[in-house]
């Protein structure tokens, strides 16, 4: 029994930490993310992390990746989250994950190497406006035209639209959900980036107007369960990032509370300040444990994977927004300023909350999967 | 990361399971229960974490986890009957006791020969335990004890008390405290039971009036009482991941919800109730996994800085929330008592007995202080 990280994983973490501290401190994060006309990430840093092997971390070695697991991936994501690192890491990995799990060998050979080396950026387009983030919420319809599928409909909350070369799109053919690969250049595809609160996460909507998908771009292994599994993988990934971001918010606030003197003593001495900080720790440690287990379940193909992912995301969606609010509030006026960093974490929490299902959605899944 | 136990550990699990299958007594079979306790004592599963030299089982942390998990899953009788003796008196004796004290008390604790009670809290010293004032004054070969303890659980049924007294007013408040082991039938001890809010009386006030305690009954050196207490309370680490009881309660709340109707809706279909049950479920799972992470760190030889307080806070919250949830699920039947209740008043008891968990072992505010100070490094208040 060992619920801890290996030496290699600890090393991966310290390498990631060092790289991000040196190459992408929060000043840099702001520069990249506040440039509204830019792609929302630094192509130069993207190239560097691709070389470090982070982009293709979970892609099999045979296809140019590092062939590591989700537990390793969580390590990198925690650190990326701690730095609020703006890059299409999660969407690219999810696109690759979908192709690897539900695609055939030809599709692996076509797509995985370029996703692994960072030369192609992928993203997933699953959820639709106001709909359930599960197979039942898919309204985008596919019809058949000869060998091809023809897709029409709209997707929201799609990450990194400006950067993405490849979209993994969830559709419904009759009653059967499926996944198709749609390239950026596809005819009938309209991309609309939308401004968001969290500038480090670029989102937007895409519309498909009779987009033709050739048979080689349909993931034959995909069905409703596959869509759920992909959403679960997304939930685990964004929650892993949330661990790092929440820990950074706690560290920033705790350190400020130790230094800030009011009524002749550090405000950290007042329990009204100290106890919310302790509660942040309790919640972060707890969704951290849940994420680690969920990642392990994905690696092992364990039957607990869906409920483990749902518990982790539910817990994080439930508590991270409050951590963000407390991080700002416990600072007093300075926390409300653009210049001070506290709000960056509050805003990340607003993005994390609904991403791949909010707390209500996932608690309901926990209830159902638990026999209620 | 690897949640599997080694083959040797799995073999131990099978041994435990087989034992339970063959020996678990029916709940209303006192002879079977007595026999059970005799047999687990022989197998050294009582005091399983204690060194073999003193009569314990020398079990590894993983084995302790397995043993507790299987026992709890099977709803088997407890591992031993001398609750406080096993929880902290024994560990304190093992670390600080004289040879003579160990030889006298430890076998009796393992046998469950009688109960121990714990005389720490006083009317003016609860969370601030180190401010205690019950006095021990040296008189020849004995201490003369005068003062009062309160909230002393099972004092009226105990043969011995582990007692903290103030032997000196010099130095810091922690320094003048001494630990004594005192027979409850000593002259000058008076026990007055206190009725609690569920109507029972399981704790008491204990008065000490010129009670003579021989020097040989001192545990640790004079002035070392605080250290003796803290190290003993920190002993039971393997319980940190033990959530089988809470898991069972969550499952029972689900079943309860399926049987009850409230506001015209079957309770298990009420979205608010479903979300609260799921939230409790996720918290219990987080506790299990937090515990596994803490155990892993201990197996690697790291010491914990107060991480156990995370699960204590969860446990406190859950204890209250599950009781509330269970009564709310029953709607207008929630406030009933006696024969008309679901499951013989189980849920009403849960909703009224939470202080045993929430207040008894250090209140939530104290746990928050521990996390803030020892883990986050924030200043003391
Ligand atoms: C069922 C039960 C069984 C018990 N059994 C035993 C036993 O066998 N032996 C024994 O010695 N004791 C026993 N106790 C006593 C228990 O340890 C104390 O009740 C507990 O430590 C709290 O002390 P108190 O009751 O004096 O409350 P107080 O310390 O007066 O606390 C009152 C309130 O003030 C808060 N508070 C106190 N200090 C702080 C602070 N620094 N910051 C913020 N808030 C604070 C507390 O959280 C609490 O809400 C038992 C208690 C219960 C309920």
**Mean pLDDT across B31-36:** 93
Residue B323: HSE in the Cβ half-sphere, 13 Å Cα cutoff: 18
Nearest CA in chain A to B308: A282
Under the banding of pLDDT at 50, 70 and 90, the label for residue A214 is very high
Tell whether B278 is within 8 A of chain A (Cβ): yes
The secondary structure element, H or E, covering residue B151 is strand B142-153
Q: Are B350 and B374 in contact (CB under 8 A)?
A: no
The answer to whether residues A249 and A365 belong to one domain is yes
Domains and CATH numbers, chain B: 7-80 (1.10.540.10), 115-224 (2.40.110.10), 241-375 (1.20.140.10)
Q: Are A40 and A91 in contact (CB under 8 A)?
A: no
* pLDDT greater than 70 at residue B236: no
Separation between Cα atoms, residue A174 and residue A171, nearest integer Å: 10
Q: What does the pLDDT look like over A244-259, one tens digit per residue?
A: 999 999 999 999 999 9
Separation between Cα atoms, residue A343 and residue A178, nearest integer Å: 38
The answer to whether residues A238 and A297 belong to one domain is yes
Domain end: A178, A195, A217, which one?
A217
Separation between Cα atoms, residue A20 and residue A17, nearest integer Å: 5
The crossing angle, in degrees rounded to 10, of helices A271-300 and A305-329 is 160
The domain that contains A247 carries what CATH number?
A: 1.20.140.10
Separation between Cα atoms, residue B179 and residue B196, nearest integer Å: 28
Q: Does residue A271 have its Cβ closer than 6 Å to ligand 1?
A: yes
Is B236 catalytic? The answer is yes
Separation between Cα atoms, residue B195 and residue B191, nearest integer Å: 13
* pLDDT greater than 80 at residue A231: yes
The answer to whether residues A37 and A87 belong to one domain is yes
- The residue whose CA is least distant from atom 30 of ligand 1 is B126
Q: Which residues contact B156 (CB under 8 A, 6 or more apart)?
A: B191, B193, B201, B204
Q: Are A64 and A116 in contact (CB under 8 A)?
A: yes
Give the number of domains in chain A: 3
* pLDDT greater than 90 at residue B299: no
- DSSP state letter for B150: E
* pLDDT greater than 90 at residue B344: yes
Residue B178: HSE in the Cβ half-sphere, 13 Å Cα cutoff: 26
The crossing angle, in degrees rounded to 10, of helices A359-369 and A305-329 is 150
The three-class DSSP label of residue B134 is coil
Q: CA gyration radius for chain B?
A: 22
Under the banding of pLDDT at 50, 70 and 90, the label for residue B300 is confident
- Does residue A183 belong to any structural domain of this protein? yes
Q: What does the pLDDT look like over A173-187, one tens digit per residue?
A: 999 999 999 999 999
The token duo for B57 is 């089982």
Q: Per mean pLDDT, which range of A33-42, A327-336, B232-241 is the poorest? A: B232-241
Separation between Cα atoms, residue B378 and residue A281, nearest integer Å: 13
Among residues of chain A, what percentage have pLDDT more than 90?
Answer: 99
Separation between Cα atoms, residue A268 and residue B163, nearest integer Å: 35
How many other β-carbons are positioned within 10 Å of the β-carbon of residue B144?
18
User: In terms of pTM, does the model score above 0.90?
Assistant: yes
Nearest CA in chain B to A257: B378
- The pLDDT, as a whole number, for residue B193 is 97
The answer to whether residues A45 and A86 belong to one domain is yes
The string of DSSP codes covering B229-284 is HHHHHT---GGGG--HHHHHHHHHHHHHHHH-EETTEEGGG-HHHHHHHHHHHHHH
Instruction: List CB contacts (< 8 A) between B313 and chain A.
Output: 282
Q: Which residue has the tokens 């969407």?
A: A91
**Mean pLDDT across B302-321:** 91
Under the banding of pLDDT at 50, 70 and 90, the label for residue A98 is very high
The answer to whether residues A139 and A99 belong to one domain is no
- The pLDDT, as a whole number, for residue B244 is 87
Q: What's the whole-number average pLDDT of chain A?
A: 97
If we measure between CA atoms, which residue out of B278, B97, B103 comes closest to residue B181? B97
Domain end: A217, A245, A280, which one?
A217
Answer whether A372 sits within 8 Å of B277, measured CB to CB: yes
Q: Are B348 and B355 in contact (CB under 8 A)?
A: no
The answer to whether residues A39 and A132 belong to one domain is no
Q: Are A148 and A213 in contact (CB under 8 A)?
A: yes
If we measure between CA atoms, which residue out of B92, B99, B95, B112 comes closest to residue B181? B92
**Mean pLDDT across B111-127:** 97
* pLDDT greater than 80 at residue B241: no
The answer to whether residues A251 and A189 belong to one domain is no
- The pLDDT, as a whole number, for residue B233 is 73
Instruction: List CB contacts (< 8 A) between B286 and chain A.
Output: 286-287, 289-290, 311, 315
* pLDDT greater than 90 at residue B305: no
Domain end: A175, A199, A217, which one?
A217
Give the length of chain A. 372
Kindly report the backbone phi and psi dihedral angles of residue B131, in degrees, each rounded to the nearest multiple of 5, phi listed first. -85, 5
Q: Are B222 and B228 in contact (CB under 8 A)?
A: no
Q: Does residue B193 have its Cβ closer than 6 Å to ligand 1?
A: no
Separation between Cα atoms, residue B211 and residue B184, nearest integer Å: 10
The answer to whether residues A319 and A346 belong to one domain is yes
* pLDDT greater than 80 at residue B220: yes
Instruction: List CB contacts (< 8 A) between A1 and chain B.
Output: 2-5, 9, 62, 65, 292, 295-296, 299
- DSSP state letter for A334: G
- Does residue A321 belong to any structural domain of this protein? yes
- DSSP state letter for A304: T
Nearest Cβ partner for A275 among B283, B368, B375: B368
The token duo for A130 is 């106001």
| DSSP H stretches of helix in chain A | 7-23, 26-34, 43-52, 70-82, 89-102, 105-116, 224-259, 271-300, 305-329, 342-352, 359-369
How do strand A218-219 and strand A203-213 relate by DSSP bridges?
A: unpaired
The three-class DSSP label of residue A193 is strand
Under the banding of pLDDT at 50, 70 and 90, the label for residue B237 is low
Q: Probe ligand 1: pick from B115, B118, B119, B127, max atoms within 8 Å of CB?
A: B127
- Does residue A145 belong to any structural domain of this protein? yes
Q: In DSSP terms, which residues pair with A183 in a beta bridge?
A: A166
Under the banding of pLDDT at 50, 70 and 90, the label for residue B235 is low
The answer to whether residues A231 and A350 belong to one domain is yes
Q: What does the pLDDT look like over A271-316, one tens digit per residue?
A: 999 999 999 999 999 999 999 999 999 999 999 999 999 999 999 9
Q: Which of B285, B314, B381 to mutate to test the interface with A (most CBs of A within 10 A)?
A: B285
How do strand B160-166 and strand B116-119 relate by DSSP bridges?
A: parallel
Q: In DSSP terms, which residues pair with A189 in a beta bridge?
A: A208
Gap between the terminal Cα atoms of chain B: 39
How many other β-carbons are positioned within 10 Å of the β-carbon of residue A333?
7
The domain that contains A98 carries what CATH number?
A: 1.10.540.10
Where is pLDDT greater, at A69 or B361?
A69
- Does residue A18 belong to any structural domain of this protein? yes
Q: Which residue has the tokens 């293709």?
A: A56
The answer to whether residues A309 and A245 belong to one domain is yes
- DSSP state letter for B324: H
The answer to whether residues A327 and A365 belong to one domain is yes
Nearest CA in chain B to A371: B254
Dihedral class, residue B269 (left if φ above 0, else alpha if ψ from -120 to 50, else beta): alpha
* pLDDT greater than 80 at residue B203: yes
- The pLDDT, as a whole number, for residue B306 is 82
Q: Which residues contact B251 (CB under 8 A, 6 or more apart)?
A: none
- Does residue A320 belong to any structural domain of this protein? yes
| Active-site residue, selected from the candidate residues B15, B175, B236, B373 | B236
Taking the C-alpha atoms of B233, B235, B237 and B239 in order, what is their torsion angle to the nearest 10 degrees?
A: -70
Under the banding of pLDDT at 50, 70 and 90, the label for residue B238 is low
Q: What's the whole-number average pLDDT of chain B?
A: 94
For residue A334, what are the CA distances in angstroms to A101, A327, A370?
47, 11, 44
Interface list for B 62-81 with A (CB within 8 A): 62, 65
The token duo for B314 is 């969860």
| DSSP H stretches of helix in B78-182 | 83-84, 90-96, 99-111
Domain containing residue A162: 122-217
* pLDDT greater than 80 at residue B373: yes
Q: Which residue has the tokens 């591992």?
A: B79
- Does residue A1 belong to any structural domain of this protein? no
- The pLDDT, as a whole number, for residue B338 is 87
- Does residue A65 belong to any structural domain of this protein? yes
Under the banding of pLDDT at 50, 70 and 90, the label for residue A339 is very high
The token duo for A371 is 């026999």
The secondary structure element, H or E, covering residue A166 is strand A166-173
Q: Are A326 and A280 in contact (CB under 8 A)?
A: yes
Separation between Cα atoms, residue A69 and residue A73, nearest integer Å: 6
- Does residue A2 belong to any structural domain of this protein? no
Q: Are A74 and A292 in contact (CB under 8 A)?
A: yes
Q: Which residues contact B218 (CB under 8 A, 6 or more apart)?
A: B143, B178, B179, B180, B181
Q: Which residue has the tokens 């994905």?
A: A298
Q: Are B178 and B218 in contact (CB under 8 A)?
A: yes
Q: Are A340 and A266 in contact (CB under 8 A)?
A: no
The answer to whether residues A255 and A349 belong to one domain is yes
Ligand 1 centroid to B150 CA: how many Å? Answer: 10
The token duo for B176 is 């003048």
Separation between Cα atoms, residue A347 and residue A250, nearest integer Å: 14
Instruction: List CB contacts (< 8 A) between B249 and chain A.
Output: none
| DSSP H stretches of helix in B24-122 | 30-42, 61-73, 83-84, 90-96, 99-111
Where is pLDDT greater, at A112 or B3?
A112
Tell whether B1 is within 8 A of chain A (Cβ): yes
Tell whether B138 is within 8 A of chain A (Cβ): no
**Mean pLDDT across A152-170:** 97
Separation between Cα atoms, residue A359 and residue B236, nearest integer Å: 35
């Amino acid at each position: 029994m060992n619920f801890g990280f290996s030496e290699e994983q600890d090393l991966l973490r310290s390498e990631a930490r060092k790289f991000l501290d040196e190459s992408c401190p929060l000043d840099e994060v702001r520069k990249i993310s506040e440039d509204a006309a830019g792609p929302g990430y630094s192509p130069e840093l993207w190239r560097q992390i691709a070389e470090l092997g982070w982009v293709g971390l979970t892609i099999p070695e045979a296809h140019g990746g590092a062939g590591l697991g989700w537990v390793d991936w969580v390590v990198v994501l925690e650190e990326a989250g701690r730095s609020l690192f703006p890059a299409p890491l999660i969407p690219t990995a999810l696109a690759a994950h979908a192709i690897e799990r539900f695609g055939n060998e030809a599709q692996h050979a076509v797509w995985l190497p370029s996703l692994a080396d960072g030369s192609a950026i992928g993203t997933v387009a699953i959820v639709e406006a106001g709909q359930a983030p599960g197979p039942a919420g898919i309204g985008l319809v596919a019809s058949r035209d000869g060998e091809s599928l023809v897709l029409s409909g709209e997707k929201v909350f799609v990450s990194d639209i400006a950067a993405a070369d490849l979209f993994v799109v969830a559709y419904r053919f009759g009653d059967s959900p499926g996944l198709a690969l749609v390239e950026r250049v596809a005819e009938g595809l309209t991309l609309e980036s939308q401004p968001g609160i969290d500038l480090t996460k670029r989102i937007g909507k895409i519309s498909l107007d009779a987009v033709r998908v050739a048979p080689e771009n349909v993931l034959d292994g995909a069905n409703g369960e596959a869509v759920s599994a992909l959403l679960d993988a997304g939930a685990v990934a964004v929650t892993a990032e949330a661990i790092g971001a929440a820990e950074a918010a706690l560290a920033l606030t705790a350190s400020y509370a130790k230094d800030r003197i009011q009524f002749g003593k550090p405000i950290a001495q007042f329990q009204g300040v100290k106890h919310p900080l302790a509660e942040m720790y309790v919640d972060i440690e707890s969704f951290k444990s849940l994420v680690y287990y969920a990642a392990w379940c994905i690696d092992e193909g364990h039957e607990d994977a869906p409920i483990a992912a749902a518990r982790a995301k539910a817990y994080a969606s439930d508590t991270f927004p409050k951590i963000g609010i407390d991080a700002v509030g416990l600072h007093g006026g300075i926390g409300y300023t653009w210049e001070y960093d506290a709000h960056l974490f509050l805003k990340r929490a607003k993005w994390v909350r609904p991403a791949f299902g909010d707390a209500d959605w996932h608690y309901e899944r926990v209830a159902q999967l638990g026999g209620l | 990361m690897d949640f599997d136990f080694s083959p040797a550990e799995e073999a131990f699990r099978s041994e435990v399971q087989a034992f339970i299958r063959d020996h678990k007594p029916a709940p209303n079979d006192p002879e079977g229960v007595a026999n059970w306790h005799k047999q687990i004592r022989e197998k050294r599963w009582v005091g399983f974490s204690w060194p073999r030299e003193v009569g314990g089982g020398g079990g590894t942390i993983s084995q302790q986890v397995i043993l507790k998990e299987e026992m709890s899953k099977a709803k088997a009788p407890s591992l031993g009957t001398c609750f406080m003796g096993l929880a902290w008196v024994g560990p304190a004796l093992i670390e600080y006791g004289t040879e003579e004290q160990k030889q006298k008390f430890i076998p009796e604790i393992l046998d469950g020969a009688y109960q121990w009670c714990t005389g720490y809290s006083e009317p003016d010293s609860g969370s601030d335990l180190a401010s205690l004032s019950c006095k021990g004054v040296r008189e020849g070969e004995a201490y003369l004890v005068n003062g009062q303890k309160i909230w002393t659980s099972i004092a009226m049924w105990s043969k011995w008390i582990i007692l903290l007294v103030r032997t000196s007013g010099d130095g810091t408040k922690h320094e003048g405290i001494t630990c004594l082991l005192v027979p409850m039938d000593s002259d000058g001890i008076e026990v007055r039971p206190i009725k609690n809010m569920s109507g029972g009386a399981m704790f008491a006030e204990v008065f000490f009036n010129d009670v003579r305690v021989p020097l040989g009954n001192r545990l640790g050196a004079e002035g070392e009482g605080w250290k003796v207490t803290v190290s003993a309370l920190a002993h039971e680490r393997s319980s940190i991941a033990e959530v089988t009881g809470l898991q069972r309660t969550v499952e029972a709340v689900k079943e309860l919800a399926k049987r009850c109707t409230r506001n015209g809706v079957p309770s298990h279909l009420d979205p608010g109730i479903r979300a609260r049950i799921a939230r409790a479920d996720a918290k219990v799972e987080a506790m299990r996994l937090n515990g596994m992470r803490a155990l892993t760190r201990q197996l690697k030889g790291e010491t914990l800085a107060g991480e156990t307080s995370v699960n204590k806070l969860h446990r406190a919250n859950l204890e209250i929330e599950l009781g509330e949830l269970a009564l709310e699920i029953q709607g207008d039947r929630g406030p009933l008592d006696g024969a008309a209740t679901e499951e013989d008043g189980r849920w009403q008891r849960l909703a009224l007995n939470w202080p045993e968990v929430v207040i008894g072992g250090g209140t939530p505010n104290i746990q928050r202080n521990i996390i803030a100070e020892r883990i986050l490094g924030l200043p003391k208040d």
